[in-house]
Structure 1
């Protein structure tokens, strides 16, 4: 069975490293992008491998976490999408993709792993 790959799109180096370690410790493979453009480029190359996206809403550059989540779903309709934000949670119902999760910063380190696991557990086995 192939490992589940999680894309972490977060421009804050320490947080992206900490999140990466948490997901690796939980048994996931991790790809990291430090801005929306890099995240979308990675998704376009690797969308068949990426099963979950953890995206900060406000990152350096023009593209946001909203953009990353939408592009991820365009490429792979069953990909799990979890958003993170310190100030944009109220925009999630209008800008987030359906069946996604919003985590308000700051959060406990186990919350993103739990959110991704929860969403992945709701994907039909034939779609994985």
Structure 2
């Protein structure tokens, strides 16, 4: 799980790409309050994006979705 805007020289998009290079099946959840339109072009395959603010139940559903998909 990563925020899209990490603000310390690397974006969440890039972080996920680097992790997927080392572990191709690693599940990725992006969080954002502004960058949803970029998800289709910047996000890694099989990832999920959740808009902030979100309720705990929404987060649980997203994580469950990834685990059930076996990404």
TM-score normalised according to structure 1 size: 0.52
Matched, 1:99 2:46: yes
Taking structure 2 as the reference length, the TM-score comes to 0.88
1:82 is matched with which residue? 29
1:81–1:116 contact (8 Å) kept in structure 2: no
Show structure 1 runs of 4+ deviating over 6 A.
Answer: none
- One of 7, 14, 18 as aligned partner of 1:71: 18
The structure whose residues are more often strand, as a share, is: 1
**RMSD over equivalenced CA pairs, Å:** 1.4
Structure 2 residues not aligned, in runs of 5+? none
1:16-42 alpha-carbon deviations (Å, 9 max, x no partner): xxxxxxxxxxxxxxxxxxxxxxxxxxx
Gaps of 5+ in 1: 1-53
Q: Tell me the matched-pair count.
A: 71
Question: Between Structure 1 and Structure 2, whose CA radius of gyration is higher?
Answer: 1
Q: Relative CO higher for 1 or 2, CA cutoff 8 Å, sep ≥ 6?
A: 2
